[in-house]
Structure 1
C-alpha cells in the first residue's frame, strides 16, 4: 500500500474508532443503558424535550459532557505533543515541557486551599498559573541574550521544579481532613463530576489551539530541518515557535482546568502515530488528534469501570506511558 493511501486509511480508521468508542461509552459502564434507549435520549435531547428519568441523567447529564471533555483533552494534548516534538527536534518532549502542568497544578492547589474546594476560582487560578509558568520559562531562556531550544527546555525544567516545590508547600499547610485529599485527588487527574459548564470553559480555547497547530503543520515540517534551513525557506523560526508554544500552552492549561494533570498523552500518542504515518506533520497532526481522543476515551472508560471506586486517570496514563517512554528512548539512543 502506498504511504499516502496507508496514512489516509489510518486516519479514517481512527475516525471510525472514535465514533464507535464514543457511542459505546454512553451506554456501557457500571450502570448499563440499552443502546436503543441511548439513541432515543440523544434524539429527544436534540429536540429539546428529553425524557426525565434516571437513564436521561446518566447519559445526557453525566456521560455526554464527560465524553466531549475527554475527547477534547485527548486530542488537544496529543496535537500539542506532536507540535512540541517537531519544533524542539526531540521525540521525548511533551506539552508540559515548559512547566505548564506544574504551574497549573500549583494554581489549582492554591485555589483549593483558599476556597476549600474545586470551584470556579480554582479553575481560573489553574489556567492563570499555567500561562504564567510559560511566560517565566520564556523570560528565563533569554537571560543570556540568546534564545535556543536547549535554553527553553532547561528553563522549563527550572520552572517545573519550583512549582512542584510550591505544590508540596501548599499540601503541607493544607487541612488534612478536607483540603489535602481534594488537592491530592485533583493532581492525580480525573474527569469525574465534569459538566456542560466545564465543557463551556474549555471548548473554545482547545478548539482554537488545535486549529492553530494544524494550520501551521507545514511550518513545523520546515522547523524540523533546522533554523538555518527554515530562514532560507522564508520561515521565521522564532516567531513560528512562539505561535506553537502559545497554542499548546492554552490547550494544556485548559485541559488541566477540567481534568487535573493527565500526563504522558502528549508524549506517547505522537510517537505511536509517527511509527505508523511517518514524520510528515500533514498526516501526523490529524492522526495524533484522533488517536489521542481514542486513547484517552479508552483509558477513561477503564478508569471508571475497572473498580467500584473510580481510578484517577493520571495513574493509568502513567502506567501505560512509562514503559512506552522507555521503548521510545531505546529507539532514539545515539541520536
Structure 2
C-alpha cells in the first residue's frame, strides 16, 4: 500500500532501496568518512600540521601539558572552530533541505524556498550598511531570516485559508524571497562602493574565514534545537509524502507537523546563513545524493543527509582555503561543484523521480 502511494506521488519505493543497502552499515560508513575528513582537515591549510604533531598536541592538551605555541593557537583558536562550524552548517543546510523536499513533495525544493536566505541576506546587508559589529551582523541576519519565513507563513495562512495550503505557501515564499532580495539590492545600491559595498558583496558570497569559538557556540544552540524535531518527526515526513488526504486519514495533523518542521528547518537555515553567509546548493543536492544511497525513507534519509552535508561542506571548505593563495568564497565553490553534480543526479535518477 505504501509503495503504491509513493509511486503515485513520484517517490521511489523504500523496499527496493532497503534491499540494496542496509541502514546500519551505510550510516557507520558515513560516520567514518566524516571522521576521516575531519582529521585530514585539521592537518591542511596555510599552516600545515603533520598528523604526528597533531596527535602530540591533543595528547598534551589531555594531560595538561602546554608549550606548542603558534601551532596550538592555530589549531584550537582558528582551525577547529572553523571545521566544527563547517560540519554544523553543512549538516544544517542538508537536513533542512531534505525536510523541505519531503514537506512539499518536490525534489527541486531547497532551504531558501520560504525566504530564509533572502531575509538573512538583507539583515546582514542592513547591519553592514549601518556599521554594526560582527556579532550584531550575525544576530541581525538570523533575526531577519526567521522574520522572512514568519512573514511567508503568516501571509500564506491568510491567503490560502480555503485553498491548497502547500502551493500557496510556496508561492508566497517566492514573493517574500523576491521582496527581500530587492531590499538587499537597494542596500548595495546606496552603500559606499569603496567600503560597505565590498563588505556586503563578500558576505553574500559566503565563507568561514571569520569563524571563531564564539561562532561555534552561537551555531551549536540553534543547530541542536532545530535538528532534534527533524529527527523526532522524520517518520511523519514519510507520511506527508503520501499526500495531504492520505496523511490525514492516517491520523497525522498535517498543519501542525508542517509548522514544526518549517520552524525547525528555518532555525537551522537562518543560523547557518547568519554565520557563513549565503552558501547555496548544499540543501538541494545533498538530499538527492543521500536518497540515491539510502533511499527515500526519512528514517534513514535524514541522518544520511546530515552526515553527508557536513562532510561535503568540510571538503569544499578545505578546497576553498588551500587551492589558491587567496581564499575562495564558499558560495562560488558550492555553485561550481553543485550545479554539474545536480545535473548528473538528475540524469542518474530521472527514472526514479
TM-score range, shorter chain: over 0.9
1:112 corresponding residue in structure 2: 128
1:171 aligned to 188, 191, 197, which one? 188
1:44 aligned to 60, 66, 69, which one? 60
2:119 corresponding residue in structure 1: 103
Check conservation: 1:42, 1:60, Cα contact below 8 A: no
2:204 aligned to 160, 184, 187, which one? 187
Structure 1 residue 329 displacement after superposition: 5.0
Check conservation: 1:41, 1:60, Cα contact below 8 A: no
Check conservation: 1:264, 1:321, Cα contact below 8 A: yes
Paired residues for 1:308-319 under 5 Å: 308-319=325-336
Say whether residues 1:69 and 2:79 are aligned partners. no
1:79 corresponding residue in structure 2: 95
Structure 1 residue 327 displacement after superposition: 4.2
2:137 corresponding residue in structure 1: 122
2:19 corresponding residue in structure 1: 3
1:293 aligned to 310, 327, 330, which one? 310
- The CA deviation string for residues 152-207 of structure 1, in whole angstroms up to 9 with x for no partner, is 11111111111111111101111111111111011000000200001111101111
Q: Distance in 2 between matches of 1:274 and 1:158?
A: 29
Task: Specify whether residues 88 and 31 from structure 1 end up closer, same or farther in structure 2 by C-alpha distance, changes over 3 A only.
Answer: same
Q: Distance in 1 between matches of 2:165 and 2:195?
A: 44
2:243 corresponding residue in structure 1: 226
- The total of aligned residue pairs comes to 334
TM-score, normalised relative to structure 2: 0.90
TM-score, normalised relative to structure 1: 0.95
Say whether residues 1:21 and 2:37 are aligned partners. yes
Q: Distance in 2 between matches of 1:310 and 1:216?
A: 39
Structure 1 residue 46 displacement after superposition: 4.3
Structure 1 residue 145 displacement after superposition: 2.2
Q: Distance in 2 between matches of 1:287 and 1:46?
A: 31
Say whether residues 1:60 and 2:76 are aligned partners. yes
1:215 aligned to 232, 251, 256, which one? 232
Structure 1 residue 11 displacement after superposition: 1.4
Structure 1 residue 228 displacement after superposition: 1.2
Q: Distance in 2 between matches of 1:276 and 1:60?
A: 34
Q: Distance in 2 between matches of 1:100 and 1:108?
A: 12
Paired residues for 1:245-324 under 5 Å: 245-324=262-341
Structure 1 residue 32 displacement after superposition: 1.1
Q: Distance in 1 between matches of 2:196 and 2:172?
A: 31
Check conservation: 1:41, 1:51, Cα contact below 8 A: no
- The gaps in structure 2 that reach 5 residues or longer are 1-16
Say whether residues 1:243 and 2:274 are aligned partners. no
